[in-house]
Amino acid sequence: MNQPLLEVKNLTKVYRIGGLLSGRTVKAIDSVSFQIPSDKPKIIALVGESGSGKSTIARIILGLLQPTSGEVIYKGRNILEWLKKNKLEYYKEVQPIFQDPYGIYNPFYRVERVLELAVKKFKLSSNREDTRKLILKAMEDIGLRPEDILGRYPHQLSGGERQRLMLVRILLIKPNLIIADEPISMIDVSLRAMFLNYLISFKDKYNISSIFITHDLNVASYVADDILVLCHGRIVEEGPKDEVITEPLHPYTKLLTSSIPIPDPTKRWKEQLDLTSIESFKKLKVEKGCVFFARCPFASEKCRNETPPFLEIKTGRKVACFLYL
């Protein structure tokens, strides 16, 4: 196999909370490993409930946060090395889309500044006229009318428009990999499928891969080629989208998929689980053994004490569960 585009190896992040003296810690992610191949662009959905560690993984890959242990390798080189020696190149290749794009904009400048800065930073054009042409063309490709958008301030646009400008920005930069952390949760329901379709078209037209982070398995099943299921900071299942949805292996994935009736994101956007159960689930976090132990109908004594290894049990399908060992 070719060298992967991205390798996430045994990432663990322990946050210290309440200052050094209190000594309280939270293990947000634990030994997370996965790869994105380089031979063919892919959208990989990272699915997990709130608090499962999704943003922590995103921020580490983006170099915004240091892992406690483990490493991220991009095109064969550790990202620490990229950030030290070739930071600009790294961000030319790996770009974020965050949940709330408002934070990207400076409220005192017109919105096009975000696009102009990207063109300048990544040296995408050599003069003002070309910059303008590039921006107008990219806006057209994302179906935004310049006359509706340009000249406005960030607060004068809707969340959906601000997020679509992030797609314009992506189109200007044309990275190899997008890290999209819950990018559609703050945009109007009616615009969500369109946003997802653009990500799919970026993959098909420009070979741009994405890690698409979501708490919603419906969305994952619409947009992704492969699905990674995260439960309390550990990946418990990985596989091609259709297989994970129709034939889930891990009891946790079975629980998530049992509430998916229609694989159409425009028709059903309900939460996977009711919120009370998620809240109580958080309290059930365990310090050893399987992360799903407390809620698993199949749990045995072994699951209480030992962490099941994450193993490939058939081609392309991985699961961390003693039922399959």
Least separation in angstroms between CB 110 and Mg ion: 29
SS3 81: helix
52 touches Mg ion by CB under 5 A? no
251 touches ligand ADP by CB under 6 A? no
210 touches Mg ion by CB under 5 A? no
Q: What does 21 bind: ligand ADP, Mg ion, none (CB cut-off 5 to 8 Å by kind)?
A: none
Least separation in angstroms between CB 49 and Mg ion: 10
Q: What does 26 bind: Mg ion, ligand ADP, none (CB cut-off 5 to 8 Å by kind)?
A: ligand ADP
Q: What does 265 bind: ligand ADP, Mg ion, none (CB cut-off 5 to 8 Å by kind)?
A: none
Least separation in angstroms between CB 130 and Mg ion: 37
Closer to Mg ion by CB, 54 or 203: give it.
Answer: 54
Nearest to 173 by CA among 73, 105, 96, 101: 96
The Cα 186–Cα 184 span in angstroms is 6
Member of 31, 38, 55, 95 binding Mg ion (CB under 5 A): 55
CA neighbours closer than 13 Å in the CB half-sphere of residue 18 = 6
31 touches Mg ion by CB under 5 A? no
Closer to ligand ADP by CB, 144 or 179: give it.
Answer: 179
How is residue 50 annotated by DSSP? Answer: T
Residues 23-62 that bind ligand ADP (CB under 6 A): 26, 28, 48, 50-56
289 close to 303: Cβ distance less than 8 angstroms: yes
What does the CA dihedral 90, 225, 214, 208 come to, rounded to 10 degrees?
30
124 touches ligand ADP by CB under 6 A? no
Q: What does 308 bind: Mg ion, ligand ADP, none (CB cut-off 5 to 8 Å by kind)?
A: none
The Cα 152–Cα 240 span in angstroms is 42
15 touches ligand ADP by CB under 6 A? yes
The Cα 143–Cα 168 span in angstroms is 10
Nearest to 224 by CA among 238, 212, 239, 236: 212
Closer to ligand ADP by CB, 38 or 56: give it.
Answer: 56
Nearest to 179 by CA among 98, 122, 253: 98
CA-to-CA separations, 269 to 18, 30, 215, 310, in angstroms, rounded: 36, 29, 11, 30
164 touches ligand ADP by CB under 6 A? no
Least separation in angstroms between CB 26 and ligand ADP: 5
Total of residues contacting Mg ion (CB under 5 A) = 2
How is residue 164 annotated by DSSP? Answer: H
294 close to 212: Cβ distance less than 8 angstroms: no
Closest residue to Mg ion using C-beta atoms: 55
Total of residues contacting ligand ADP (CB under 6 A) = 12
On the 0-12 / 13-18 / 19+ scale of CB atoms within 10 A, 64 is exposed
Least separation in angstroms between CB 133 and ligand ADP: 38
Q: What does 169 bind: Mg ion, ligand ADP, none (CB cut-off 5 to 8 Å by kind)?
A: none
Q: What does 15 bind: Mg ion, ligand ADP, none (CB cut-off 5 to 8 Å by kind)?
A: ligand ADP
Mind giving me the DSSP string for 216-264? -HHHHHHH-SEEEEEETTEEEEEEEHHHHHHS--SHHHHHHHTT---S-
Chain residues in the site for Mg ion (CB under 5 A): 54-55
Chain residues in the site for ligand ADP (CB under 6 A): 15, 17, 26, 28, 48, 50-56
